């Protein structure tokens, strides 16, 4: 019997990067995995990798999307609020729309995912939010993203207090720069705005991780799997840095 046999898992933003890696690993561990995102194509591609992965198109910023997703799914065991996006600009040139976009996808999206998930979470359930080291410290040129990710850590800590004593846990994962399409988009922005080469931009981002190297999606996935394991019920309300060092 596998570790997660019979468990129903929802992963938002499962069509790429960390979410796609988690989907495969959770399915291989025996879970029945549902991935979501806005674009059907990448979701379909990830779902084709394992018979226990299915997908639904849903936007985490839309209350109706998230409510009907969980209504359709019924009871769930593990909810991973992973969807997110990172746009960069100096604060002084950050438009209100960009600020709102970053808060909506990175913070409101987590709120809606965890709220709807909690309504249908079975005993022994696990709620996980993929925050970031940007939820624990500041980074230049991404103030809205940092503010949203700090908000995610606060949301997780508050919810942990609310559900304390119940047979469920809620935690935040805080990866440093991780090799995914989101990182490649950040590299492309730096190249476009500074004239650095992609190699220079990547080396710079990598050097800001305490471990001096990029994190791999599998390292984030392994932490999520551990949180969902049989002996992790006492890990609750934590913001776990996955960055190779102290954040
Ligand atoms: P990614 O490959 O770009 O994945 C982000 C996913 O979120 C995409 O599949 C995207 O799919 C989905 N998404 C974006 N907006 C959405 C929306 N409104 N509704 C539903 N889904 C949406 O990047 P990633 O690095 O794996 O990111 C996963 C999480 O890790 C994010 O929360 C990110 O902030 C966090 N993180 C990443 C890093 C890093 O360096 N890569 C570091 C720390 C934390 P659609 O576009 O199809 O919707």
Per-residue pLDDT tens digits for 132-175 = 999 999 999 999 999 999 999 999 999 999 999 999 999 999 99
**Residue of 17, 42, 86, 106 best suited for mutating to test ligand 1, as the one with most atoms within 8 Å of CB:** 17
CB 85 less than 6 A from any atom of ligand 1: yes
Question: Domains along the chain?
Answer: 8-176+216-242 (3.40.50.720), 177-214 (no CATH)
What is the 12 CA–ligand 1 centroid distance (Å)? Answer: 8
Confidence of residue 1 (pLDDT cuts 50, 70, 90): low
What is the 136 CA–ligand 1 centroid distance (Å)? Answer: 18
Confidence of residue 12 (pLDDT cuts 50, 70, 90): very high
Q: What is the pLDDT of residues 195-219, one digit of tens each?
A: 999 999 999 999 999 999 999 999 9
CB 40 less than 6 A from any atom of ligand 1: no
Does position 2 have pLDDT exceeding 80, yes or no?
Answer: no
pLDDT at 138: 97
Count Cβ atoms within 10 A of the Cβ of residue 62 and give its class: 0-12 exposed, 13-18 middle, 19 or more buried: middle
Instruction: Judge whether 145 counts as a catalytic residue.
Output: yes
Q: What is the mean pLDDT of residues 174-202?
A: 95
Q: What is the pLDDT of the chain when averaged over all its residues?
A: 97
CB 178 less than 6 A from any atom of ligand 1: yes
Q: What is the mean pLDDT of residues 11-26?
A: 98
Angle at 190 (CA atoms; ends 143, 212), nearest 5 degrees: 80
Task: Give, using CA atoms, the residue closest to atom 8 of ligand 1.
Answer: 13
Q: Which atom of ligand 1 is nearest to the CA of 179?
A: 41
Task: Give, using CA atoms, the residue closest to atom 37 of ligand 1.
Answer: 178
Distances (CA, A) of 178 to 47, 132, 236: 22, 10, 24
Beta bridge partners of 91: none
For residue 83, give the nearest of 109, 44, 62 by alpha carbon. Answer: 109
Give the span between the Cα atoms of 234 and 218, in whole angstroms: 23
Task: Give, using CA atoms, the residue closest to atom 32 of ligand 1.
Answer: 84
Q: Which atom of ligand 1 is nearest to the CA of 133?
A: 43
Angle at 198 (CA atoms; ends 205, 204), nearest 5 degrees: 20
Does position 67 have pLDDT exceeding 70, yes or no?
Answer: yes
CB 132 less than 6 A from any atom of ligand 1: yes
Confidence of residue 119 (pLDDT cuts 50, 70, 90): very high
Helix (H) or strand (E) holding 74: none
Q: What is the pLDDT of residues 214-247, one digit of tens each?
A: 999 999 999 999 999 999 999 999 999 999 998 8
CB 90 less than 6 A from any atom of ligand 1: no
Task: Give, using CA atoms, the residue closest to atom 12 of ligand 1.
Answer: 13
Q: What is the pLDDT of residues 23-65, one digit of tens each?
A: 999 999 999 999 999 999 999 999 999 999 999 999 999 999 9
CB 17 less than 6 A from any atom of ligand 1: yes
pLDDT at 94: 98
- Residue 103 has a CB neighbour count (10 Å cut-off) of 17
In the sheet where 53-57 sits, what is the strand order?
Answer: 53-57, 32-37, 8-12, 76-81, 121-130, 169-175, 239-242
Residue pair 243/211 in contact by the 8 Å Cβ criterion? yes
What is the 183 CA–ligand 1 centroid distance (Å)? Answer: 10
Give the span between the Cα atoms of 22 and 42, in whole angstroms: 14
């Amino acid at each position: 019997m596998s570790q997660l046999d019979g468990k129903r898992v929802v992963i938002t933003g499962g069509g790429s990067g960390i979410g796609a890696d988690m989907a495969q690993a959770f399915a291989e561990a025996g879970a029945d995995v549902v991935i979501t995102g806005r674009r059907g194509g990448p979701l379909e591609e990830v779902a084709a990798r394992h018979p226990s992965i299915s997908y639904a198109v849903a936007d985490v910023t839309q209350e109706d999307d998230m409510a009907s997703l969980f209504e359709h799914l019924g009871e769930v065991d593990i909810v991973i609020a992973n969807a997110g996006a990172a746009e960069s600009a100096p604060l002084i040139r950050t438009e209100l729309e960009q600020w709102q976009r970053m808060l909506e996808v990175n913070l409101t999206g987590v709120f809606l995912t965890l709220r709807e998930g909690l309504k249908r979470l079975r005993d022994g359930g696990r709620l996980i939010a993929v925050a970031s080291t940007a939820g624990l410290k500041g980074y230049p040129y991404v103030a809205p993203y940092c503010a949203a990710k700090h908000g995610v850590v606060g949301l997780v800590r508050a919810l942990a207090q609310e559900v304390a004593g119940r047979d469920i846990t809620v935690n935040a994962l805080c990866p440093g720069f991780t090799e995914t399409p989101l990182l490649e988009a950040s590299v492309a922005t730096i190249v476009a705005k500074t004239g650095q080469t992609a190699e220079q931009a990547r080396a710079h981002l990598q050097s800001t991780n305490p471990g001096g190297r990029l994190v791999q999606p599998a390292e984030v996935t392994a932490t999520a799997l551990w949180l969902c394991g049989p002996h992790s019920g006492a890990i609750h309300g934590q913001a776990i840095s996955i960055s190779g060092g102290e954040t």
